Structure 1
């Protein structure tokens, strides 16, 4: 079976200006592409919303060989309630640590050469203060689980991830589809996992012909399928097929057909400009301030 590969994690953002500052100026990531949509996504990529929204992909390099962040912005929604589901994204970059200090971005040292900071909205990022590698600096995404054994069975036994490290004392398992990709770290928090209203989603690519098999396996084992196999259109770009799953704790998992996704995810040299233009054209902050109102809280 061809290898699956880790693609991105989806963050819902309420303030694109501050968020762009964090990813571009603090972390040092690039805007890979930016897309605007007039109505909600069939696979609820932007959450349970029907209105206008945007998607911005940011990373240290192309999604073909880097794990990136997908920033979804729903017009009119100013903030989301964090749960305890997303525990952090870890990356190695002395430059990011230096940028944070220079820009007075809040930074807390939590270990040897390890700092914790937060993106707007409260999402935690762990920065390893070492020279950025030539490969992808993003090392792992950490998610909370309520029963480590059950989750390891799901991710390994059903989805085919390799268990790279397991520590029963710390109640942690590190997994991945290959050694040279961003890893998934599962941490048993000993209680219920709450996704808040900011609930994220992790995405992986696989050959298109594997998608029906993944869906069939989940049906056979009576596991949750959030969105059955569906085609998603992006204006002017490739149409991709996806199936969205829910793990035992409700973490959303997107599997997308690799062949079409490689076309869709090609880096757009105009991405930076398109994001800046969209931010400039979005007068919602001014409108709410003028009418002495606050944007909706999800």
Structure 2
């Protein structure tokens, strides 16, 4: 899940050495009723990582299902683009494979096959995450959905390259839509894009989608996080089935506070996870999603 805040702090600071950090880590004993961890019923965890607090940074949510050993990637999520010469330098120092796709832009592949694009330059950005790219089957149809229905501003549209760039604010991470030349395949590793907005807007979003006969995957529902705030969410699907979550900002602001123990909680959870040893002892493989 990729979270984008609905509003940002105006303060910009030089990011000569951006550090991706664990913002919080949470464990759950059973599957989410809004399928936050995918269509799985077992124990799972989520780890929020970003370059700064969720109030004013784009954040990636990494979900781990304890009983699942592998996922099949589709062509729905095409990559995350970062503006960071430090990231390029780090990759080179670590011997991480990089492929220069255009001048100064390198492609890297994260574990699991997820694509990252690293722009080798510095910029006075509050957040190095420039854009997230999703595959679509019909560019105009998708642009209409995200702009006319969801209210995003169109920043760029290139018919020749079959791509468009949209967003809610000039200083926020952008959403890039790119035609894949056929149907969008979500594989089994798909996630969702999430935005926070005022709680009262959730009912308006739900009413609009019903009026326009658009798909609502999860009607407005309250989700609990153990020991933390209960948040309200509604989950939609665009014309290609990309999942879109809108979450009530007031409760989410409380839920999404940076946890100084996030790193330790993640380390403890990984140390306590004996599933690999158990499956090996049983001479079994974890299930494929």
Question: TM-score when scaled to structure 2?
Answer: 0.93
Output one character per residue of 1:222-262: Cα deviation in whole Å (capped at 9) or x when no partner.
11000000000001111100000000000000000011111
Matches within 5 A, 1:129-208: 129-131=120-122, 133-208=124-199
* 1:76 corresponds to 2:64: no
RMSD of equivalent CA atoms: 1.4
Aligned length: 276
Residue pair 1:92, 1:133 contacting (<8 A) in 2 also: no
In 2: Cα distance, 1:294 partner to 1:110 partner: 36
Residue pair 1:35, 1:54 contacting (<8 A) in 2 also: yes
Equivalence for 1:39: 30
Output one character per residue of 1:182-230: Cα deviation in whole Å (capped at 9) or x when no partner.
0000001221000000111000011000001101111111110000000
* 1:273 corresponds to 2:264: yes
* 1:255 corresponds to 2:246: yes
Q: 1:222 aligns with which of 183, 199, 213?
A: 213
Q: 1:279 is paired with a residue of what secondary structure?
A: helix
1:290 positional shift: 2.3
Residue pair 2:4, 2:59 contacting (<8 A) in 1 also: no
Q: 2:87 aligns with which of 84, 89, 96?
A: 96
Q: Which runs of 4+ in 1 moved over 6 A?
A: none
In 1: Cα distance, 2:31 partner to 2:133 partner: 28
In 2: Cα distance, 1:133 partner to 1:56 partner: 27
Q: 1:82 to 1:151 in 2, by over 3 A?
A: same
Q: 1:284 to 1:198 in 2, by over 3 A?
A: same
Equivalence for 1:6: 4
Question: TM-score when scaled to structure 1?
Answer: 0.90
In 1: Cα distance, 2:136 partner to 2:194 partner: 18
Which ranges of structure 1 fall in alignment gaps of 5 or more residues? 9-26
Residue pair 2:71, 2:288 contacting (<8 A) in 1 also: yes
Equivalence for 1:86: 77
In 1: Cα distance, 2:171 partner to 2:123 partner: 15
Matches within 5 A, 1:116-127: 116-127=107-118
In 2: Cα distance, 1:258 partner to 1:111 partner: 38
In 2: Cα distance, 1:122 partner to 1:7 partner: 26
Q: 1:285 is paired with a residue of what secondary structure?
A: helix
In 2: Cα distance, 1:73 partner to 1:218 partner: 31
In 1: Cα distance, 2:167 partner to 2:64 partner: 29
* 1:56 corresponds to 2:54: no
More deviation in 156-165 or 283-292? 283-292
Which ranges of structure 2 fall in alignment gaps of 5 or more residues? 7-17
Residue pair 1:94, 1:132 contacting (<8 A) in 2 also: no
Q: 1:36 is paired with a residue of what secondary structure?
A: strand
